[in-house]
Amino acid sequence: MSTTPGGEVEARSSSTTVVAFVALYVFWGSTYLGSKFAMASFPPALLSGIRFIIAGLAMAVILFACKKLHLKDFANWRWWRNCSGAGILLFALANVMVSMGVQRIPSGVAALIVALTSVWIVSLDRIISRAGAPSWSIILGLICGIAGVTVLGGPSWGGGASELSTAGVLLAAASTIAWACGTMVAKHSARPDSLWAASVMQMLGGGAAALIASTVFERQAWPTWEAVTPSSLWAIAYLVAFGSLVGFSAYVWLLSNVNAAAVATYAYVNPLVALCLGTLLAGEAIPARTGLAAPLILGSVALMQFVRPPSKNEPPVAEE
């Protein structure tokens, strides 16, 4: 049986799409557990600084070599200022807070809470753009999302298996607001046309700020080289290579080749991946209350998708 050239191209495109979705779901969904393994040796801000500076530099080198980036993409100091401001909110604040949350609660539960980020993004975007009174779906989405976090972080019920650190839940929830604010800064301020260039500047600016914060607040917690475990180093390498480089590349490719609403499904799948990996690889016990909180939180995200699916050239909202 013969195959037409057009059919071969379509088949290759379809297989590439499947691979990109798998990479987006698995690699972004696994970053929470990867952070937990890395923090066996590194405190949260130091981890974030190391991860995003290495990722930003590696991405820049690769893209310059592939001629996807040019010096003119970095020539405007306002771009650096704005992208660094967004990077500080995204990587020096939000990422550090969710990492601190992962130290206190199961990584899968943290990933579930982070799914709320899109709820805040839609709400803030309407406020900034002065889009008028919120629709019923926004109001209901906010109520469901807040209710889900309240279920996770509220007074325990159902015995010890339902215990969760309130501080851990609040840190993860606060990280979603910081990430949404960073996304708004990135979206509504002057930046280069290239999403790649903006991402590099955000990573470098945010990573540098995280290192400064770690020097001020975590210096006594910095590990000696002898105390660093091989598993922590492998976890950092995984976060840089697969979480930041491969996962983000898959995200950008999908936004350019697939309907944005389909790409947005990562907000539903990533928490499920994180929950499964945390249980299988780290032996994390998932509290019974998660069964009630998950439909509330994921339902709030689904309601927001009726309002506005992610647009092209918009920074990622779930890879913390």
Q: For tokens 């105390």, what's the residue?
A: 227
Q: Is residue 79 part of a domain?
A: yes
Quote the percentage of the chain above a pLDDT of 90. Answer: 56
Question: Residue 209 and residue 45: Cα distance in Å, rounded?
Answer: 9
Q: Is residue 1 part of a domain?
A: no
pLDDT in tens, 217-272: 999 999 999 999 999 999 999 999 999 999 988 888 887 788 776 777 888 888 98
pLDDT in tens, 104-132: 999 999 999 998 888 888 888 888 877 66
Q: Using 50, 70 and 90 to split pLDDT, how confident is the model at 152?
A: confident
The whole-model pTM stands at 0.86
Q: Using 50, 70 and 90 to split pLDDT, how confident is the model at 77?
A: very high
Question: Domain range spanning residue 211?
Answer: 24-157+164-305
Q: Is residue 40 part of a domain?
A: yes
Q: Is residue 5 part of a domain?
A: no
Segment 16-22 long-range contacts (CB within 8 Å, at least 24 positions apart): 16/253, 17/254, 17/257, 17/258, 19/250, 20/250, 20/253, 20/254, 20/258, 21/250, 21/254
Q: Using 50, 70 and 90 to split pLDDT, how confident is the model at 5?
A: low
Q: Using 50, 70 and 90 to split pLDDT, how confident is the model at 85?
A: very high
pLDDT in tens, 17-51: 999 999 999 999 999 999 999 999 999 999 999 99
Quote the percentage of the chain above a pLDDT of 70. Answer: 87
The count of domains in the chain is: 1
Note the pLDDT of residue 229.
Answer: 95
Q: Report the residue count for the chain.
A: 320
Note the pLDDT of residue 6.
Answer: 54
Note the pLDDT of residue 1.
Answer: 44
